[in-house]
Amino acid sequence: MFSDQAKIVIRSGKGGDGHVSFRREKYVPDGGPDGGDGGKGGDVYFVVDQSVNTLAEYRHIRKFSAQDGEEGKKRNCHGKNGEDLILKVPEGTVVYDNEGKVIIDMSGETKKYKVLTGGRGGLGNQHFATSTMQAPKYAKPGGDSKEIEVRLELKVIADVGLVGFPNVGKSTFLSRVSNANPKIGNYHFTTLEPMLGVVNYEDVPEFVIADIPGIIEGASEGIGLGIQFLRHIERTKVLVHFVDGASVEGRDPIADIKAINKELREYDPDLLRRPQIIVANKMDACQGDNIDIVSKIKDAFKEEGYPVFGISAVTGEGIRELLFAIYDARSKFPDDITIYDSEVDPDVTEIIDPEIKVYRGDDNVFYIEGQRIDKMLGYTNLESEKGFLFFQKFIKENGIQKKLDKLGIEDGDTVDVGGWLFEYYK
């Protein structure tokens, strides 16, 4: 089944914790610290894979995680880095965050993109030995992983998009002029998914053509299948509008053209500014009033100036001339495809609020709170002598001690520091 949308949760790897250990070797009575550093957590990448053309891989698996880094080891051994997570997507996939902002458009020159960085590895206790603290009993924890939900949306990249009501011969035409093998049948919605093909017809230059199915009246409002596939027209350079020139089903070709163009306009007004070629198909079956259908369409859309061709996808009549006209219109269009600019980078390091709140609660407990406090506690072992000395120094250097004095703190009062409770003594 063709899958062009998916919602997944992605997570980078957590960094491995630094290790606490000491040398224990024969004939070395005073071995020092030898705790190794933790490994870095794996990153998360989106990578364009030309062999993939749908998002089916992400329909049934919701969560993808990179590997965590390993904890450091004794004898100064570094923990193993976590393996990166590679998410393969077809070219043309746009990645959005859960607020609908573009993270990255995997189109054009963008073939690989790092969306999340793994946590850094924590430092082992070997790094914290000093002349006054020769046996540090603490190490830094590994950096946190990052986790976000993203929406993947495939917008097919093709030079030419075929539009029109069902059963007007688009699939027959595509099968005749390209390497595509669409399902063909004499009933509505034979084509249930976008079909791409490379034009390979006599001496006509190659270009990529896509059959966009199911666009009917009301498609832009969610009626029928069209709303699912209108997004695939956004990157096309030329629109080729098919109608049933013979009115086999009793439809009015001119009314059909106006109806489909109305849907395109309501979905994205810019679509009607692109070159559009109208094709009256099934000319081999034209009788009576329909014999002059090409002239009638030209008169009806004289103001728009749409080129109009009469063809028969079954017999091949007029196809070569049409293909050269399509290629000519496509060659006049800039080669650049529509690429959506990134609006958000989920990998940006979180900004730490520098404010530290110090206040006295109704329970007479003195509270010290803030992101900087939480960050400091994350890498400080308050149960060790050196860690506690570092904590006391942090309190003084950041003006927290002065704030406590102003609040009237006295010996024996309780202080809550990010959830840690202390009895205060100067």
| Paired tokens of 91 | 């070219």
- Please say whether the beta carbons of 146 and 347 come within 8 A: yes
Query: For residues 267 and 228, what is the distance between their CA atoms, to the nearest angstrom?
Result: 12
CA-nearest of 107, 221, 87, 105 to 158 is 107
Residues 6+ apart with CB under 8 A from 397: none
Residues 6+ apart with CB under 8 A from 349: none
Check residue 188 and give its pLDDT. Answer: 47
Strand, coil or helix: 80: coil
| Paired tokens of 219 | 């498609």
Residues 6+ apart with CB under 8 A from 363: none
Name the amino acid, one letter, at 283: M
| Paired tokens of 57 | 């891989």
Give all domains of the chain, ordered by start, each with its CATH number. 1-153 (2.70.210.12), 160-331 (3.40.50.300), 357-423 (3.30.300.350)
Name the amino acid, one letter, at 212: I
Quote the radius of gyration of the chain (alpha carbons, Å).
33
Question: 316-325: long-range contacts (C-beta < 8 A, 24 or more apart)?
Answer: 316/176, 317/283, 317/284, 318/283, 319/173, 319/176, 319/177, 319/201, 320/201, 320/202, 320/204, 322/277, 322/279, 323/177, 323/199, 323/201, 323/204, 324/204, 325/277
Check residue 368 and give its pLDDT. Answer: 86
Neighbours of 396 (CB within 10 A): 10
Check residue 4 and give its pLDDT. Answer: 67
Burial 193-212, CB ≥16 within 10 A → b, else e: bbbbbebebeebeebbbbbb
What DSSP letter does each residue of 20-61 carry, written as one string? --B--BTTBTT--B-PPPPPPPPPEEEEE-TT--S-GGGSS-
Residue 136 burial by Cβ neighbours in a 10 Å radius (0-12, 13-18, 19+): buried
DSSP symbol at 162: E
Strand, coil or helix: 256: helix
Tell me the pLDDT of the chain (426 aa) as tens digits: 446 678 999 999 999 988 888 877 766 556 678 888 999 999 999 999 888 777 878 878 889 999 999 999 988 889 999 999 999 998 888 899 888 888 998 887 888 999 999 988 888 877 777 666 677 777 778 888 889 999 998 877 678 888 888 888 888 888 888 765 544 444 444 444 567 777 878 788 888 888 877 555 544 444 444 455 666 677 788 899 998 888 877 788 899 899 888 888 888 888 888 889 999 988 887 776 667 888 999 999 988 889 999 999 889 899 999 999 999 988 877 666 677 788 888 877 555 557 888 888 887 888 888 878 877 776 666 666 666 777 788 888 888 888 888 888 888 888 888 777 788 877
CA-nearest of 146, 138, 145, 144 to 18 is 138
Residues 6+ apart with CB under 8 A from 374: 418
Check residue 186 and give its pLDDT. Answer: 47
Listing from the earlier edge strand, what are the strands of the sheet with 366-369? 357-360, 366-369, 414-417, 420-423
Phi, psi (degrees; rounded to nearest 5) at 220: -65, -15
